[in-house]
């Protein structure tokens, strides 16, 4: 079963009956499913959402579903991709795997098998992504210092990455300026909250870019909090 924060799955499938079956089946298992009948519709969803898994039909009205593999991976390098297709030839399966698919399921398929494969793929992804921290739609790769949100990709400085990683490890927790300076800057700075304010602004600029809602909030009189909620909603 999915974790307490539901996994988000993009399903690019133009057959209404198949799309409905996949949507209802995965939703019943607690996943959040987004449907797209075309490559264009899927690309639009990529501008506003991040995903934990993509399920792609090879034959879509406006092209080959594998055309989505590159934009998907540019947003999230480790995003798992499961291909659905009526093409049963070995050459088609090999092509799909070579172009970035993690698994391949031929139509018609049993919903139970699809669900089992989804669970297995996400389980493997979790075990191989221990270097990635995430909250809401924000992801930080600790190895590359790349931060991602829908439509946003940026590389952080070492200090910015340390600060964001600290916030990501303490989500929805009000953190004092003194606590953050002590744990992130350690002995390198005395109680100078101005330097912290500067770096928080750096992070906000790189993770919002005027297009995304704020996640790093100021806690008046105390410090900062990473939260989906606005201060008035706490």
**What does the alpha-carbon distance between residue 232 and residue 234 come to, in Å, rounded to a whole number?**
6
Which CATH number, 1.10.10.10, 2.40.50.140, 3.30.465.10, 3.60.110.10, labels domain 132-233? 1.10.10.10
Say what the pTM is: 0.61
pLDDT tens, the chain, 234 aa long: 333 467 899 999 999 999 999 999 999 999 999 999 999 999 888 877 878 899 999 889 998 888 888 777 766 667 899 998 887 667 766 766 766 788 888 888 999 999 999 999 988 877 666 788 889 899 998 888 999 998 899 999 999 999 999 999 999 999 999 999 988 987 665 557 689 999 999 999 999 998 899 999 999 999 999 999 888 777
**What does the alpha-carbon distance between residue 51 and residue 69 come to, in Å, rounded to a whole number?**
13
Q: Which positions ≥6 away from 199 have C-beta within 8 Å? A: 159, 160, 163
**What does the alpha-carbon distance between residue 132 and residue 134 come to, in Å, rounded to a whole number?**
7
**What does the alpha-carbon distance between residue 118 and residue 95 come to, in Å, rounded to a whole number?**
20
**What does the alpha-carbon distance between residue 158 and residue 148 come to, in Å, rounded to a whole number?**
16
Indicate the domain borders of the chain: 8-128, 132-233
Question: The domain at 8-128 falls in which architecture?
Answer: 3-Layer(aba) Sandwich (3.40)
């Amino acid at each position: 079963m999915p974790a307490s924060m539901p996994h988000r799955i993009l399903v690019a499938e133009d057959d209404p009956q198949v799309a409905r079956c996949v949507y209802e089946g995965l939703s019943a298992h607690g996943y959040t499913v987004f449907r797209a009948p075309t490559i264009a519709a899927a690309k639009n969803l990529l501008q506003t959402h991040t995903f934990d898994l993509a399920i792609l039909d090879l034959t879509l009205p406006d092209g080959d579903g594998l055309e989505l593999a590159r934009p998907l991976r540019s947003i999230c390098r480790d995003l798992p991709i499961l291909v659905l297709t009526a093409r049963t030839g070995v050459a088609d399966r090999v092509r799909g795997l070579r172009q970035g698919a993690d698994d391949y399921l031929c139509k018609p398929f049993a919903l139970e098998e699809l669900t089992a494969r989804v669970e297995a793929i996400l389980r493997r992804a979790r075990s191989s992504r221990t270097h990635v921290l995430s909250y809401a739609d924000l992801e930080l790769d600790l190895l590359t210092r790349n931060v991602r949100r829908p439509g946003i990709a940026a590389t952080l400085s070492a200090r910015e990455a340390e600060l964001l990683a600290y916030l990501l490890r303490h989500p929805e927790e009000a953190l004092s300026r003194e606590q953050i300076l002590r744990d992130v800057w350690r002995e390198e700075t005395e109680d100078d909250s101005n330097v912290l304010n500067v770096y928080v602004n750096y992070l906000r600029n790189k993770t919002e870019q005027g297009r995304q809602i704020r996640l790093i909030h100021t806690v008046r009189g105390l410090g900062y909090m990473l939260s989906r909620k606005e201060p008035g909603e706490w």
